[in-house]
Amino acid sequence: MDFQDGISRFISNSPPAHYLVKIQFSLLTNNSIERYESGIFEAGGYKWNLILYPSGNKGKNVKDHISLYLALDGTSSSFNPDWEICVNLRFFVLDQNNHNYLVTQDTIKRERRYNKMNIESGFDEFFPLKDFNDRSKGYLVDDICTFGAEVFVCKERNMGKGESLAMIKDVITYKQRWRIDNYSGFASECLESKPFNTGKYKWIMKLYPKGQGSGIGSGYLSLYIALADPTSLLSRSKIYAQITLRILDQKQSNDWFGKGNYWISGSSGEIGYHRFMLLNNFTSQYNGYLVKDSSLLEAEVTILGVVDALF
């Protein structure tokens, strides 16, 4: 058995228990295929595939070596993103001259950990290209080579909870105008706009002519924005957004508005103002907020950041 750089190598007469992939190597190198993914196979109740970099993983500055990894297939029905899977793995290379396998694994009993944040593990410098291309060594013969893997799941555990905050670099402001006609003909306590899109989220504006929350009985109307479908945000996700709500002045362009930054989740409910505008100001014929029994309202939404659950 050979030990080198934290890796042990030994000879086995038995093929890998779980997967073999036979490759015509020049098809990868001559066509500049930097990364090759094998088909999916099952082991330990999970689905996996091999990831081969025939000229080394350039993303990790690997030179003069083959890089080889084992990847967990996240679409596997058995994969629970709240769990971490610990495995012992072995990689095999067929020696075609001696009809046996060179096996590579970690020198100590090291568990490779797989979870939603880490679905790929292996060896950056798996095999020196100089040795691999030497026909006398038997690993590449007549342009054919064979790799394999054994995967043994030794532990599973719940990872708990976590979150990831990503700020949006190139923000986009979405603007939506809502026209309310025949305002005096509405008897409802709440008027709702039609849903409108801001990227992948849908919103509605909500106007309470007689107030809502602390605005009830105060002589103010209340104005809000809300997610049209709160379930569109997962239970541990939320949005950080800048929101501007306006009632437009149709006579003098002296718009009445409120602006602020908010954290919004599926349970946030309505975002806005209990006391947005005095109802007398809104209905006054001298102002331009209600003209010929029609009003124009506007919402601007800028998504600044998104928090998603890690697990």
Same domain, 255 and 287: yes
Same domain, 154 and 6: yes
Same domain, 87 and 233: no
Residue 169 structural domain: 164-309
Mark which of 130, 158, 186 sits at the end of a domain.
Answer: 158
Q: What is the tally of structural domains in the chain?
A: 2
Same domain, 180 and 142: no
Rounded Cα distance between 128 and 51, Å, is: 17
Same domain, 190 and 254: yes
Rounded Cα distance between 270 and 228, Å, is: 10
Rounded Cα distance between 214 and 212, Å, is: 6
Same domain, 231 and 87: no
Same domain, 191 and 148: no
Which residue in 178, 174, 39, 18 sits closest to 87, CA to CA? 18
Please, are residues 48 and 73 in contact by the beta-carbon 8 Å criterion? Answer: yes
Which residue in 56, 64, 70, 28 sits closest to 124, CA to CA? 56
Same domain, 195 and 248: yes
Mark which of 103, 125, 158 sits at the end of a domain.
Answer: 158
Same domain, 171 and 263: yes
Which residue in 80, 35, 78, 73 sits closest to 54, CA to CA? 35
CA atoms within 13 A on the CB side of 35: 13
Mark which of 158, 183, 201 sits at the end of a domain.
Answer: 158
pLDDT tens track, the chain, 311 positions: 344 567 889 999 999 999 999 999 999 999 888 999 999 999 988 899 999 999 999 999 999 999 999 999 866 545 566 678 889 999 999 999 999 999 999 876 678 888 877 889 999 999 999 999 999 999 999 999 999 999 998 877 665 566 777 788 888 999 999 999 999 999 899 999 999 998 788 999 999 999 998 889 999 999 999 999 888 777 668 889 999 999 999 999 899 999 999 998 888 878 999 999 999 999 999 999 999 999 999 999 999 998 876 55
Backbone conformation region of residue 116, classed left if phi is above 0, alpha if psi is from -120 to 50, else beta: alpha
> Residue 208, SS3?
strand
> Would you state the pLDDT for residue 224?
97
Give me the CATH number covering residue 202: 2.60.210.10
Rounded Cα distance between 235 and 7, Å, is: 43
Rounded Cα distance between 82 and 80, Å, is: 5
Backbone conformation region of residue 199, classed left if phi is above 0, alpha if psi is from -120 to 50, else beta: left
**What's this model's pTM, rounded to 2 decimal places?**
0.54
Same domain, 181 and 105: no
Handedness of CA 208, 214, 216, 218 (dihedral sign): negative
Same domain, 16 and 58: yes
> Would you state the pLDDT for residue 200?
82
